[in-house]
Each structure stands twice: as structure tokens, then as C-alpha cells.
Structure 1
Amino acid sequence: MSVTSPKPYPTIAIAGLAIESSAFSPARTDAAAFHPRRGAEVFGGYPFLAPGEPLREAADWLPALTGKALPGGILTAATFAELADEIIDRLRAMPALDGLYFDIHGAMSVEGVDDPEAVLLGRIREVIGTDAAVSTSMDLHGNVSARLVELTDLITTDRTAPHEDTALTKERAVRNLVELLVGGGPKPVKAWIPIPVLLPGEKTSTRLEPAKGLYEQVAAAEVLPGILDAALWVGYAWADEPRNRAAVVVTGHDREAVALAAEHLACAFWTARAAFDFVAPTGSYSEALDAALLSPDRPFFISDSGDNPTAGGAGDVTWGLRELLARPEFRAEDGPVVIYASVPSASGVAAAVAAGVGAPVTVTVGAEVDDRHAGPVTLSGVVYSIHHGDSDALVEVVIRTGSVFAIVTEHRKPYHHEHDFTDLGLDPRAADIVIVKIGYLEPELFDLARGWMLALTPGGVDQDILRLGHRRIERPLHPFDPDMPDPDLGARLFEP
């Protein structure tokens, strides 16, 4: 099948919903969490589509609706229907389209719906037809089903974790689409290979081998003759659907080259499966605290990984905070300085704001959403600082109790940047220990840390995925079935 006849200015719509949704968190995600952008607002998410940029000038762009939510719990069916219906209504009101840029993450979970991104794209296809070309960009922690590959024409994903190339990935997806439409010609062939491996992201960081070398092979495959794009997904470990696993898709116009490149990448990933390991030294929370206290390296970072809000944790698990406050080393003000980030409590924030900076306060925080591992924690201390206006937290307060500076937020928030701390009057460089609800450290924190340990703590994104209780993944699957036979890694071709 060919794309519509070549045009100097093809008409291209933009739509998509992006989230990682943990099926093992009791949280639920509503429509407001996506901060939907509509119409011209959509361009704000794509610097390469700013006025005057070459890609902006290369097509007639019709933005519909895009949304990106902080990772969290699964969507209610009503939330998914509300957002999907609005996208469909906006696309239906548009003139005939030559193409669509479909901007998703790929790890969305919805109550009662398997493979929701493919379901949404299926509904979109009913409106825009099969002749329009669709280009999809994803996160490498997304999940790629056969149906999603069937419905899209060009599909690509990030090549770094932490994701330092997300903007480049989106731009690549858009450029590939524009070049296909402007050049005309046939739609590409796609080779898809599901790989029966499911690993947490903290075992697949591209900072380390084997992921580093595998993604170098992805980049090398892309420039081979006859290939337009190569992509490798590690999948999302904290959902529970048959599509949850690693995958390869290679796209191009040379059928044989596409298939061979996909099979090479899939075999390389499968061969390396046992070599994947955590990105930092691991241990229990208690072991991490012991190591931090003994280490001369300051600041020493501890990843409280089980409740990581940027992987889908509820963010309000209090288990780690409770364990920290129980340690006698931190009860005196002259003890080792610890920054703890963070725990949400709207009532706790309100009480601290009412008391004011410098005032004593006692608040009860956390476990309003996820109370499976520990109940609410009572903090008694002094209000150290208050900060208004954060886009995620809204209001943040720091309560000092002993030598612990505990950050309490109105809404849950990830702490990835140095300014997240300095905005609160905290200096992470001068702290002895910084505890962050995170998995692998994001780039700024990674550069700040002089010591680091990943604590295997409980929560909705527990790094020990074997104890989560998956029931619907397709078996056999590594590491759930360590003695499984070698799988069939032959390419499944989708031709126009």
C-alpha cells in the first residue's frame, strides 16, 4: 500500500496519551492527571514544531489532544473513555488527513481493557482510515503488541534509560512521518519479534552492559541499507497483561534486511538475559542505611525503589519513613543530616503552612492510598521551609525532626533535580544521606551522588517482580521460568 500522493505540505494530526500504570498499586488515575493539551496548546510539548522550525513548516499540522500523566495506578474505564472519546471527536471534526503522529508511552493499564493504546489507535483508524500514515513514538518501558504494530506504519522508541533522548525520539518519529508523506511511495515493511523476557527498568539501564551495547546495536541497525528505523523495548514489569515483555520492531523497505536486523537484535537480547543486573548495589532498607552511615562518601543516596512515583508507585507508602525515624542515629539534631523525599499529605501540608516556618508542628502523613505495608506516620518537629507553586506537588513543606529533613507534599512529586531540593532551602550536596523515592538515579542526582545504594523496598513497583503476583503474563517468561527453552525469535512481518 502506498501513502497518499506526495504533497509538499501534507496534513498531519497529533494525538496521544502517555502514562506508566502499575497494576500492583491500589491507586487509580483520573483524566485530570494527564494535564490534557488541546488544539494549539499541543505544540508546547514539541520544541521541534515551534514556529519557524523546519518540521513545523513542512506540513499542515492539526493538533487534537495529547496528555502525559505522572506514572501511577491504572486508569478507570470512565477516564479512558472520556479522554479517548474527546480525541476521536476532535479527529472526526478535521478534514481528510495524510498522517497522524501518535505520541504515547505504551505502558497504560485500564480497568477491563487489554492493550489500551492499540484499542485507542484502532478507534482512530476508524476515523482517519487505513490510507493515512501513522507514526508512533514510545518509551522503551512500553509494551508492543502485534495489534499496535499492525495499526501503525512507523514506530520508534527511546534508546536511553534514564531517558535523555525522549525529545530526539519524538522528533525522529515526526521526521520519519514527514519524509514518508512528502516523498510518497509505499508504506514500509515492519518486522516484530516479541522476546519472552520481562525485567524491571532498574536492571536495564543503558548506563551499563548489556543494555548499553544492545542499544548501540539498535543505532547501528538503523543505518543499514533498506532500514528506516530500529527499536528495542524492554517492556513494563509492573503491569499484568499478555503484552508485557520485551520486543523488537525494525521498519524499512527491504523485506529481507528488516527481518534479519530484527532477528539479530532479538537474539542478542535473549542471549544477554541473564547478564542484566541492578544499576547500583542493592540490599534491604536497613542494609542501605547501615552502608550510608559507614561510608565516607557524602552525599550518600538511597533509592527507596518500591514506591517510585515515576515508575507507577502511589508515592505515599510510609514504610521507608517509618523505618528511618525508628533509627536512633537520627533522633538528635546533631546526628547525620538526612533528606527524605518525600511523602504526600494534603492535611499535613495545610497544618505546617498554618503553623508557619520555625513553628513546632505534629502532623500525620502518608498511607492514604497505599497502606498495605505501613500505616500513617506521625511527624513531630519544626517547620523548616514552605514552597508554593510546584507543578506536581503544588505546595511542599519540610519538617525537621531530629536530624531528618522530611519533605511533605500536597500532591505526590518525584525529586529528580537539584533545584527540587534547593527550592526548599535544602542543600543535598551538604547532606550526609539523601533518600529519594526513585529507582535508578536521574542524571542530576547521579552526578551529585558520591555513594549510592538501591534499597529493595515494598510498594506498587517492587523491584522483586517475582513476588508481585503476576497472573496474566504470557508464560513461559524469563525470569519467572528460568529453565524455559529457547523461544522462536523469527520475525513476524507486517507488509503494506
Structure 2
Amino acid sequence: MLGRPNIAIAGLACETSTFSPARTLAPAFHPRRGKEVIDEYAFLHPGTPLGNSANWHGALIGHALPGGIVARESFEKLASEIITRMIEIKNTTSIDGLWFDIHGAMCVEGMDDAEAELLQRIRKIIGPDVIVSASMDLHGNVSQRLVHQTDLITCYRMAPHEDEQETKERACKNLVDMLKSPAGRPGRPLKAWVPIPILLPGEQTSTRIEPAKSLYELVPGVEATDGILDAAIWVGYAWADEPRNHAVVVVTGWNADCVTEGAKKLANYFWDARRDFKFVAPTGSLMECIDSALVSSSRPFFISDSGDNPTAGGAGDVTWSLDRILGRPEFKSSSGPTAIYASLPGPQAIETILKAGIGAVVTVTAGAEVDDLHDGPITMTGRIHSIRHGDKDAVVEAVLQVGSVFVILTKLRKPYHREHDFTRLNLAPRHVDIVFVKIGYLEPELFDMASDWLLALTPGGVDQDLPRLGHVRIHRPMWPYDREFAEAPDLTPQLIPFSNEAL
């Protein structure tokens, strides 16, 4: 190709639990359009190698905080705008490539395989000749239908996802390199796809620990093989119930033998290691975790309230854990062991707190407005410690000191992953006894702060006890839902050709 290729950018990303009563609406995606899309990614800015290598055209991208199933009307609204904007781009210039910026675990009401459906609609506009490169979360799902419609597809190689931007940049670089490749290269790359009958939560597949650490360390070696362009392993998303939910390996390249052997190597290692996947930290019931934290000399001691993790798809407003924490006699007095609880949405509680002001003692009720399957709203009396306006997710945050527990309340749900999330609220997480966070594995800053930590197996839309959630639509047998297989699964890689037809 002579000159700079024209590349469009579009996609919707949301990790959604079908076991949560929450629903995700269009505004939650915080859509970016046109130049806003380019502004989102520093590696595409003018003056950067990638920014200068192509003419980038933003259609629409939307990244929602993980949550419940996406309302069909909201999906259709956003998908329709993407199509309209793709038509506008096509009417002003030729489109040579598409970066499909997705997560891979978005579930939409009345629809299976939402990302493949969205790409098929886009393909009807841009046509079969446009080269598509998809970047995904390793907790996404890769159906055969999605692979058929993409030319390049890759995902993160770290959990926690410290390589998110690196992965997206790789997807764009691979796309540009392919569009600028020598004319003698034989057509579209080959894709070796291997579905693996394993479905595990992220808390058992963190690349910090074995066996996921060694599994993902194999990827660069496979990718470095002559004839291979990219290698990727998807763990899949455990808290949704669709047939596409399972682990997958995809190796992309130009040599059929190499991509097939590379995919086979990764898939077999994954399967053979299935019994070795364990939780990333010691686990226990909430009460067991509190007991351990109270007798430990490690400070701060972190406890993950994992069942309602808002960054895995939980509603974020389950009150089950907070109710039991505040019921413990150790925390009844302000002189008791100091603790932070992050967090619980309570719009009405926030209104009461705003009217009263810092220092006032108030009684408020919060939680269970969305997910009331595990416990009802909780009523607390405490002193207002701090108030903060303007957070992108929470909108308004407040801290209520109840006994010796500093409870973070929010207008809308918010994850607490960084130290400044606490210090902005006049909290000092490094200098308290216990920090309770609605999370699974600790994100890097929390991990670095914690002197010790435990993962509490608590109820919610992303319950770590997968069998008790009640999957009925995933393929069976599936590890660990099924511990015995009548015969070993067929892990023969399938070479997936490009196809613009719905499957």
C-alpha cells in the first residue's frame, strides 16, 4: 500500500455478569467520538510513530465499568451511532483497516455473542476487504464467529492488566504493519483457534502466580517463531452464562504449521495445568478473614470482599459484608481497631450527608437498591468524616465513621484501586488496621500497600463459588464444574478462515 492507510476505530467494552440483577445503560459507556477517540490513546497522538503511520478516524468507543447485562435498547442506540459514524467516515475516505476496541465479555439482553454481532453490522458497512484488528481483555470470550470476522486478534498477557495500553498499541501496530506489508505476502494471515473446556475466575488465574505465570510466559516464545505474528490466551469470563464462555487460544501468522503447533503447545499446557490453578491469596469466609486480620500484626491488612466486586461485574451495592462487619463488637467503639470499607452506593444517604456537612452525626440508609438478593438496605449512624465532589464514577463520595469503621459511601458505584482514591477522602489506608475493598485480586497499588491480605468468599453477582451460581448454557463438560471427563478434550487447533457470513 502506498501512502498512509486510513484506519477507523470503533468498539464497545463492558464486562457483564448475567448473575447480577443490575443493568448497564448507554450513559455508563461514556462514549467518545471523533477526535476524542484519538485523544484517548497517547500512542495514536500526532508525532508518535503509530500516530504518524496512518490516518486514524475515530467513530465511537465506549468503555463502561463492569456491571450487569447491557439493556438491549442501550446497545442498539450505541451500535446505531457507530454504524452512522462508520458510514460518514466511508463517505469521506476509503477505509483500509478497523481497530475493534472491545473487552469481549459484554452480554446484551436477548443476544448472544454481542461483540461478534456488532462487528458483523460494521462489516456490512466497511465490506469484506477491510482488515480488522481486535484487542481484548484476557477475560473476554472468543467465539468462532468473532474469529471468522477478524484478521488479527489479541489480548492482555497480564492479570492484573498492567499491559492494557501495550496490548492495544500492539493491536494497532500489527494492523498498520499488515496494511503496509509487501505486496507479495500471501493474503490474510491464518488463525489457529483452540477452545479449551476450562472456565475459571480471574482470582484463580492471576499471572502473578503459578501456573498462569508460566503459561503466559510461553506466549512471547511462541510469538517469536518464524511465521507467527501474534499469540494470545483468553481465560474467558466466568460470571456470564453463554455458550461462548470458556478458555481459548488463538495464534495468528503466515505459516500453517507454525501457528498450529504454537496454538497446540499453549492449549495443551493450559489443559494439563488445570488442577494447579488456585486462588491468588488464602481464602476464607468473611468472619474467618476478620478473625485472622484482628490477630495478625501485619498492618494494613487487606480483605477482599470478592462477591460484589464492581470491576468484575458486581452491582457494587450488596450490603451483606458491611452489615456483618459493623455487627462485630470489635468495631462498635471509635477506639476499636481502625478499618476502612470501600464502598457502598447510597444516593439518598449522600443527599442527607451533603445537607448535614462534615462533622455532623447522621443516620442514613444505603445499599441494596440494585442487588437485594443477598441482603436488604443497611442503616448506619455515624459522624461525617469527609465529602468529595467530581469523581468520574462516584460523582459524589463521602466517608461516614461508624464506630471505628470509616465507611465510604458514593452516589454511584466506584472501584477503589489506587491510594489516592482513599487519600482524597482524608483517609490514610497505610495507617489503619484493616482495609476492606470490594475487589477480587488486589490491583497493583493495593497489593503494594498491603502487608498481608485475604480473599473473603462472599456472596454477590460475581461469587467465587462458581458452581452455586447455576450456569445452564455453558458447554459441558467444563472444568471445574465437571471434575471427571470421560475422555480428554480434543485440543486440535482449527484454522479459521476469514468469513463475513454470520455463523
Does the alignment reach a TM-score above 0.5? yes
Deviation at 1:182, TM superposition (A): 1.1
Which structure 2 residues correspond to residues 182-261 of structure 1 after superposition, within 5 A?
182-183=180-181, 184=183, 185=185, 186-261=187-262
Structure-2 residue corresponding to 1:486: 488
Give yes or no for the alignment of 1:104 onto 2:102: yes
- 8 Å contact kept, 1:145–1:243: yes
**What do residues 48-73 of structure 1 show as CA deviations (whole Å, max 9, x unaligned)?**
00111111111111110000000000
Q: Tell me the distance in 2 between the aligned counterparts of 1:469 and 1:220.
A: 38
The CA distance in 1 between the partners of 2:476 and 2:251, in whole Å, is 24
Aligned equivalents of 1:44 and 1:341: distance in 2?
A: 31
Match of 1:466 in 2: 467
CA distance in 2, matches of 1:357, 1:129: 59
Normalised to the residue count of structure 2, the TM-score between the two structures is 0.97
The CA distance in 2 between the partners of 1:494 and 1:477, in whole Å, is 23
Aligned counterparts of 2:345 and 2:303: Cα–Cα separation in 1: 19
Q: Is 1:89 aligned to residue 89 of structure 2? A: no
Q: Secondary structure, in 3 states, of the residue corresponding to 2:180?
A: helix
Q: Please state how far the C-alpha of 1:495 moved relative to its aligned partner.
A: 3.4
Corresponding letter in the other structure for 2:169:
E
Check if 1:322 corresponds to 2:320. no
Give the CA deviation at 1:44. 2.1
Q: Is the 8 A contact 1:8 1:58 kept in 2?
A: no
* Residue 59 of structure 1 pairs with residue 54 of structure 2: yes
Displacement of 1:8 in angstroms is: 2.3
Does the aligned pair in 2 maintain the 1:200–1:463 contact within 8 Å? yes
Give the secondary-structure state (helix, strand or coil) at the position aligned to 1:94: helix
Instruction: Tell me by how many angstroms 1:412 deviates.
Output: 0.2
Listed as ranges, the matches of 1:335-346 within 5 Å are: 335-346=336-347
Please, which of 30, 34, 37 is the counterpart of residue 42 of structure 1?
A: 37
Amino acid of the residue matched to residue 493 of structure 2? A
Q: Any residues of structure 2 matched to 1:26-37 within 5 Å, and which? A: 26-37=21-32
Rounded to whole Å, the distance in 2 between the matches of 1:261 and 1:107 is 25
Q: Give the equivalent residue in structure 2 for 1:3.
A: none
Any conservation in 2 of the 1:7–1:181 contact (CA below 8 Å)?
no
Give RMSD over aligned pairs: 0.7
Instruction: Find the aligned partners of 2:55 and 2:39 in 1 and give their Cα distance.
Output: 16
1 CA distance for matches of 2:55 and 2:40? 17
Tell me whether 1:7 sits opposite 2:9 in the alignment: no
Q: Does 1:129 align with 2:131?
A: no
2:262 partner SS: helix
SS state at 2:495 partner: strand
Answering whether residue 17 of structure 2 is matched by residue 19 of structure 1, we say no
The CA deviation string for residues 297-335 of structure 1, in whole angstroms up to 9 with x for no partner, is 000000000000000000000000000011000001110
| Matching of residue 443 in structure 1 with residue 438 in structure 2 | no
CA contact (8 A) 1:242 1:473 kept: yes
CA positional deviation for 1:494: 1.8
- Mapped to 1, the partners of 2:250 and 2:78 lie a distance apart of 28
**Structure 1 residue matching 2:440: 3-state secondary structure:** coil
Is the CA contact (8 Å cut-off) linking 2:38 and 2:56 kept in structure 1?
A: no
Q: Distance in 2 between matches of 1:61 and 1:341?
A: 39
Gaps of 5+ in 1: 1-5
AA matched with 1:268 = Y
1:36 maps to a residue whose letter is: P
Residue 7 of structure 1: how far off its partner (Å): 2.7
In structure 2, what is the Cα distance between the partners aligned to 1:477 and 1:208? 23
Asked whether the 8 Å contact 2:245–2:474 carries over to 1, the reply is yes
Which residue identity is paired with 2:263? Answer: A
Aligned counterpart in structure 1 of residue 70 of structure 2, from 58, 72, 75: 75
CA contact (8 A) 1:222 1:229 kept: yes
Where 2:140 maps in the other structure, the secondary structure is coil
> In the aligned structure 1, how far is the partner of 2:23 from the partner of 2:440?
21
Q: Secondary structure at the match of 2:170?
A: helix
Distance in 2 (CA, whole Å) between partners of 1:60 and 1:161 is 32
Q: C-alpha separation between the residues in 2 aligned to 1:229 and 1:128?
A: 24
Structure 1 residues 421-460: aligned runs within 5 Å: 421-460=422-461
Distance 1:465 1:40 in 2: 42
Q: Aligned residue for 2:370?
A: 369
Name the amino acid aligned to 1:229: D
Cα deviation 1:377-420 (Å, max 9, x = unaligned): 01101001001111110110000011010000000000000000
Distance 1:295 1:180 in 2: 55
Whole-angstrom distance in 1 between the partners of 2:2 and 2:278:
49
SS in structure 1 at match of 2:89: coil
**Structure 1 Cα separation of the partners of residues 89 and 206 of structure 2:** 41
What percent identity do the matched residue pairs reach? Answer: 62
CA distance in structure 1 between the aligned counterparts of 2:461 and 2:361, rounded to whole angstroms: 33
Q: Which runs of 4+ in 1 moved over 3 A?
A: none
Counterpart CA distance in 2 for 1:76 and 1:357 is 38
Does 1:179 pair with 2:180? Answer: no
Q: Per-residue deviation at 1:454?
A: 0.1
Tell me the equivalent position of 2:149.
151
Residue aligned with 1:452, SS: strand
Q: Which amino acid aligns with 1:494?
A: I
Spell out the pairing of 1:404-419 with structure 2 (5 A cutoff): 404-419=405-420
The C-alpha deviation readout for 1:85-117, integer Å capped at 9, x for no partner, is: 111111112233111000000000011100000
Q: Distance in 2 between matches of 1:22 and 1:47?
A: 31
Q: Counterpart of 1:149 in structure 2: which amino acid?
A: V
Hey, what's the Cα distance between the residues in 2 that align with 1:207 and 1:490? 28
Find the aligned partners of 2:447 and 2:89 in 1 and give their Cα distance.
Answer: 45
Whole-Å separation in 1 of the counterparts to 2:163 and 2:3: 29
CA distance in 1, matches of 2:352, 2:222: 57
Question: Quick check: 459-468 or 185-194, which moved more?
Answer: 185-194
Deviations 1:207-254 (A, max 9, x none): 000000000001211111100000000000000000000000000000
